[in-house]
Amino acid sequence: MAAFGIATGGGNWFSALALGVTFLKCLLIPTYHSTDFEVHRNWLAITHSLPISRWYYEATSEWTLDYPPFFAWFEYALSHVAKYFDQEMLNVHNLNYSSSRTLLFQRFSVIFTDALFVYAVHECCKCIDGNKAGKELTEKPKFILSVLLLWNFGLLIVDHIHFQYNGFLFGLMLLSIARLFQKRHMEGAFLFAVLLHFKHIYLYVAPAYDGSIRWSSFSFLRLISLGLMVFLVSALSLGPFLALDQLPQVFSRLFPFKRGLCHAYWAPNFWALYNALDKVLSVIGLQLKLLDPNKIPKASMTSGLVQQFQHTVLPSVTPLVTLICTLVAILPSIFCLWFKPQGPKGFLRSLILCALSSFMFGWHVHEKAILLAVLPMSLLSVGKAGDASIFLILTTTGHYSLFPLLFTAPELPIKILLMLLFTIYSISSLKTLFRKEKPLFNWMETFYLLGLGPLEVFCEFVFPFTSRKLKYPFIPLFLTSVYCAVGITYAWFKLYVSVLTDPPVGKTKKQ
């Protein structure tokens, strides 16, 4: 019924919101774009001008194709539109080519493929119950949710300024979640399998999908058909490369373990805290003369330039350790999902936990990966006050940690304004939604979130004008990632506690 209401009567505001954000995206076209722009241009060129057998071997540019085959096909399809814009961008040897037409085409390709995301958000809005809706449109959970998803700060700056194709990928993910909510499990699983072959980062949340088989009325036939379907999708994607006997090469491209533990800018996760602790200990050690200054490796990891580094005091971390940590962190939530089935909401919770846990402990995590937890969390946030408070802490710190992605001066006002817009809106609207319940934040959380303001002022406005800028250029990044890591760890912990302590839905109903 509610869905019907949206489709007919209240559909107007949704299209206005979607159109509004689309116009904003169009206005962002002339902004700075990162090397990812060149990456995707190069992939267009590779897929367009080379045979399939060369796709995963081509290495003229340093930005080799390292996404799964479906994404390559996606670029292939795009390239057939691109040739009408500018033939030159499809030349593999045209490195760093960027004409105004290329720019327009690439930017618009992101904006257009976002249509899938908009559709997915529309579907997601149908899934949440609008029973406790206020009379005002702006106080309805559906409205709030669609603003939180459509106008998501992280997605806007990562896709439309920094340049990536996350929009339609997240669209697939949200759509698959929506299908699970609508009890169309096969479709949901199918969409997710497809998504995995678009971008393998979503493997992080795959365990939650495994767990979801349990509550979706487990049966042997179902398992078989699911397995068959996943197999077919994989065959479609990887089959050609298997036939060409290139599978090892594809996998070596997809999973490069040669990079360091942390990205040049530390993603705000557990390892950021670990590194920071190591740094602090080494400084203390030097002060107290417990460490020999000559033994400390010169290539200090905080300089942000070196990817392979050694810890001074604490033991160094290997990929295997991170893998074990991640698995250990994920397991409880999967067990929880398996033995305490809580319906789609429980699945969503464990999906977010998977995403967050792998973000916390993963090897060479990008700060952008936080969106993997933020977007599904938006769905939860409009349902329960406790979730809303976790969501707000996670989102605000997670989004703030994206700030270093945009370091150019013209984009500074944009990121601050958009961040303020999203943060003020999300906090105030959720507060209004749950005004009858206890306050969303305790004093400590409020203090922490308010601290982001002075941090930003220090990092962007004060520090660059001080004399220490040349000596310690990495200080702003270091502070940002450590400060945000605290918040994200806290949110992760709080979410875990809430998942483990919550009674299963089924039991509460029986009582």
Partner 1 sequence: MEKWYLMTAVVLIGLTVRWTVSLNSYSGAGKPPMFGDYEAQRHWQEITFNLPIKQWYFNSSDNNLQYWGLDYPPLTAYHSLLCAYVAQLINPDWIALHTSRGYESQAHKLFMRATVLIADLLIYIPAVVLYCCCLKEISTKKKIANVLCILLYPGLILIDYGHFQNRYNSVSLGFALWGVLGVSCNWDLLGSLAFCLAVNYKQMELYHSLPFFCFLLGKCFKKGLKGKGFVLFVKLACTVLASFIICWLPFFTEREQTLQVLRRLFPDKVANIWCSFSVFLKIKDILPHHIQILISFCFTFLSLLPACIKLTLQPSPRVFRFTLILTLSFMLFKFKLSEIPREAEGTLVVSEVSCALSFFLFSFQVHEKSILLNDLLQFYFFIKPVCLVLSEIPFMSTWFLLVSTFSMVPLLLKDELLMPSVVTTMAFFIACATSFSIFEKTSEEELHLKSFSISVRKYLPRFTFLPRIIQHLFLISVITMVLLTLMTVTLDPPQKLPDLFTVLKSEENELALFPDVKNVNSAKRFCELLLCVNEIIILRIMDLHEEMEDGPVAPYF
Which residues here bind partner 1, judged by CB under 8 A?
A: 12-13, 16, 19-20, 23-24, 26-31, 136, 138, 409-410, 413-414, 417-418, 420-421, 424-425, 427-429, 432
Cβ nearer to partner 1, comparing 111 with 351: 111
Q: How far is the CB of 433 from partner 1 (least distance, A)?
A: 12
Measured from the CB of residue 48, what is the shortest distance to partner 1 in angstroms?
26
Nearer CB in complex with partner 1: 263/431:
431
Whether residue 144 contacts residue 429, with contact meaning beta carbons closer than 8 Å, is answered with yes
In the complex, the smallest distance separating the C-beta of residue 444 from partner 1, rounded to whole angstroms, is: 23
Query: Which of 76, 108 has the CB closer to partner 1?
Result: 108
Question: 77 vs 420, which CB is nearer to partner 1?
Answer: 420
Q: Which is nearer to partner 1, 223 or 424 (CB)?
A: 424
Q: Measured from the CB of residue 413, what is the shortest distance to partner 1 in angstroms? A: 5
SS3 341: coil
- Amino acid, res. 344: P
Which residue type is seen at 6?
I
**Measured between alpha carbons, how far is residue 271 from residues 288, 354, 482, 489 in Å?**
25, 17, 10, 11
Residues in contact with 26: Cβ distance below 8 Å, sequence separation at least 6, in sequence order: 111
- Minimum Å gap between C-beta 469 and partner 1 is 17
Residues 125, 18 contacting (CB under 8 angstroms)? no
Output the smallest distance, CB 383 to partner 1, in A. Answer: 21
Nearest distance from C-beta of residue 496 to partner 1, angstroms: 30
Taking the least distance from each CB to partner 1, the nearer of 110 and 201 is 110
SS3 per residue for 428-497 = HHHHHHCCCCCCCCCHHHHHHHHHHHHHHHHHHHHHHHCHHHCCCCCHHHHHHHHHHHHHHHHHHHHHHH
Q: Which is nearer to partner 1, 121 or 330 (CB)?
A: 121
Q: Using CB atoms within 10 Å of the CB of residue 481, give its burial: 0 to 12 exposed, 13 to 18 middle, 19+ buried.
A: buried
Q: How far is the CB of 20 from partner 1 (least distance, A)?
A: 6
- At CB < 8 A and 24+ separation, what contacts does 335-340 make? 336/499, 336/500, 337/208, 337/211, 337/212, 337/214, 337/215, 338/211, 338/214, 340/504
Closer CB to partner 1, 191 or 427, in the complex: 427
Nearer to partner 1, 118 or 272 (CB): 118
Residue 160 DSSP one-character state: I
**CB of residue 425 vs partner 1: minimum separation in angstroms?**
5
Q: Distance between CA atoms of 60 and 63, rounded to whole angstroms?
A: 8
Distances 52 to 235, 250, 436, 460 between C-alpha atoms, Å: 16, 12, 59, 46
How does DSSP classify residue 262? B
Q: In the bound complex, what is the minimum distance in angstroms from residue 414's beta carbon to partner 1?
A: 6
Q: CB atoms < 10 A from the CB of 344, how many?
A: 22
Closer residue to partner 1 (CB): 233 or 440: 440
CB atoms within 10 A of CB 444: 9
Rounded to a whole number of angstroms, the minimum distance from the CB of residue 275 to partner 1 is 34
Q: Which residues contact 75 (CB under 8 A, 6 or more apart)?
A: 40, 43, 44, 46, 47
Q: Among 126, 99, 144, which Cα is nearest to 378's? A: 144
Q: Across the strands, what pairs with 365?
A: 262
User: Are the C-beta atoms of residues 233 and 287 closer than 8 Å to each other?
Assistant: no
